[in-house]
Structure 1
Amino acid sequence: MKLYKIIELMENWAPLHLQEEWDSSGLQIGDRNDEINGILIALDCESAVVKKASDLGCNLIINHHPLIFRPIPNIDFSTMLPRTIKEVIMSGINVYAAHTNLDMAPGGVNDAYAEAIGYDLPYILDDKGDGIGMGKFGEIEAIRAGELAKRVKERLGINFAILYQNPDKIINSIAVVGGGGSFMIDRCREIGVDALITSDIKYHEYRYALDMGLTLIDVGHYNSEYPVVQKIKDYLETALENKIPIEIYHEPDQRHVF
């Protein structure tokens, strides 16, 4: 199947016009007329992912975080980004990114995140209309904050979940934002949810939320977004009727909690 047909499928789900103006989703490296023999789906495109794709015979990498995000000042192969671009081109691999458009799209990053931690959250945190928007929220069965953090950790299969709040506080409603979601703290308090489950919480953000009585749970950026990788695989396997091999890359976690 030609690459442009797979791009059409991805953009039927997550159109490029949904991405933030600063983003760079879409085809980043490749030829739209290439015949695709296999697809590797990953959160990031880096050397290990390129090698895995090459070893598997996959000539398309679909990643969430764009490989080329900002203008490149030079093409110095001793640095990571240019070296990865060289490896992609030398391997004959195409690279396509679905970033903030997939954050905003129905069934995208935040729906996958909510499902992964075992909650059906019916409302959009930053609702743009027509089912489009960033984050999800809703009521849940009452649970202590500490138990909620443990549940999230276990459901995601990770080795930590940082709770910023009294672990005995009763939580009746939650919001989730895949990736760094601290920009949604004010929105969470505006609508009155008890806890925000996200990542990349900084010290002053934690203090600000604590002062407002908002519980924060930080599970790490990668962990909060990884569930969408399986969503992409399931979507493309159905749309392509399993005619093209599709694999998933899971990055080994280099953080160790002692």
Structure 2
Amino acid sequence: MTKYAYGHQVIGELHKLAPKHLAYEGDPIGLQVGNLALPVEKVMVVLDVLEPVVDEAIAKGVQLIIAHHPMIYRPLKNIDTATSQGRMIEKLLRHNITVYAAHTNLDIAKGGVNDWLAEALHLEQTSLLQVTAKETLYKLAVYVPTTHVEEVKEALAAAGAGHIGDYSHCTFSSEGTGTFKPLEGSQPFLGSQGDIEHVREVKLETVLPSNRLSRVLSAMHNVHPYEEVAYDVYELQNEHKTYGIGIVGTLHEALSFDAFIQHVKGTLGVASLRAVKGHDRLIKKVAVVGGDGNKFIHAALAKGADVLVTGDLYYHTAHDAQYAGLSVVDPGHHIEKIMKPRLCEYLQKALAGHYATEVMASTQSTDPFTFH
């Protein structure tokens, strides 16, 4: 097997885990530098795109970098190659390395960064800390001649319709008689112009999420034999996928504050951390937000958390948490490095058997802090 995936094919697999529509509004995710239309022999997953990381990618012959933190977070006023950022961009372009960022969409995704952190902390009975989006469900009902039911059914399933939990190809069929009269200018699949036609048809019903609607309708039109397809689309009130930021879960056994700090150090691989003690209770219920968790103090309190584990905590927010009775543990933003091996594992499985493209994690530490 010598065929390499193109950049857009690798990113297509990434989006199955972390769709772009999950990202916060204004979050500059997506293509940062380069061209996704080129073949990719090697992919490198990184937390931050810094000059040493780019040098590592060059040395290892990488064509695509997938980063958690966007390298261009604010619009550039210039590209000065006398600066580290300018040199980095110059190196990326010179060596045809494409950079793509999956940030808050990877945080929010089911099986994404915050889920990985919760697993690392051995949290049980987990739920979302704060809901950010609920996916709308639609029902599609399309009328198909009996000769083409299976073909249409397969096309709908391949486009993303009929998926309920761990089941695919979920449909319901009812048979009846369809009538139509082809008028002048029509090119009917069945019947003749000017004559009313009676056809045995199947009403094929299935469900689909809102983000798949255009794709499913396109697939339906592509395989349906009729010149004019009769179909209905209904918005449903059924509870479907809910997305959010942060995870709340419980420890198997309650721990003292000091013991919990050691638990965080050991499970997240940090030598030191900052902590705010907000009460004298044992720690049982834990909230975790990998990045900046300053906006989630009240959400953690509302969920009954004893402690919030977060990558960034402001001085005055620490006071707010302490006097509200919430303990906080801040092991640093760099704990999101957990995405490197986990996203590598996901992409390797997604590409295996189809492409010879290799996926690796950057070995560079991008944590700027040292403690003395």
TM-score category of the 2 structures, normalised to the smaller one: over 0.9
Alpha-carbon deviation of 1:161? 2.1
Q: Out of 235-244 and 167-176, give the one that drifted further.
A: 167-176
**How far is 1:122 from its partner?**
1.6
- The corresponding residue for 1:183 is 295
Aligned partners of 1:131 and 1:120: how far apart in 2?
19
Indicate how the Cα distance of structure 1 residues 69 and 256 shifts in structure 2: closer, same or farther if over 3 A, else same.
closer
Q: Deviations over 1:3-50 (max 9, x none)?
A: 111111111211111111121111211222100010111101111111
Q: Which amino acid aligns with 1:247?
A: M
The letter of the residue matching 1:206 is A
Identity of aligned residues (%): 35
1:1-258 paired onto structure 2 within 5 Å: 1-120=5-124, 122-127=126-131, 128-129=133-134, 130-140=241-251, 141-165=253-277, 169-223=281-335, 225-241=336-352, 243-252=356-365, 253=367, 255-258=369-372
TM-score by length of 1: 0.94
One-letter amino acid of the structure 2 residue matched with residue 156 of structure 1: L
Kept in 2, the 8 Å contact 1:124–1:136? The answer is yes
Partners of 1:92 and 1:20 in 2: CA distance: 29
2:66–2:102 CA contact under 8 A, matched in 1: yes
Larger strand share, 1 or 2: 2
The TM-score normalised by the length of structure 2 is: 0.66
What secondary structure does 1:111 align onto?
helix
Change (3 A) 1:11 1:166: closer
Question: Contact (CA 8 Å) 1:146, 1:167: kept in 2 or not?
Answer: no
Which has the larger helix fraction? 1
Contact 1:147 1:167 in 2 (8 A): no
One-letter code aligned to 1:109: V
Q: Any unmatched runs of 5+ in structure 1?
A: none
CA distance in 1, matches of 2:73, 2:370: 28
Greater relative contact order: 1 or 2 (C-alpha under 8 angstroms, separation 6 or more)?
A: 2
Aligned length: 257
Q: Which amino acid aligns with 1:86?
A: E
Q: Deviations over 1:153-193 (max 9, x none)?
A: 01122111222106853112000001111110011111211
Contact 2:344 2:360 in 1 (8 A): yes
User: Runs in 1 of length 4+ with deviation above 6 angstroms?
Assistant: none
CA contact (8 A) 1:153 1:159 kept: yes
The one-letter code matched in structure 2 to 1:20 is Y
Structure 1 residues 29 and 254, CA gap change in structure 2 (3 angstroms): closer
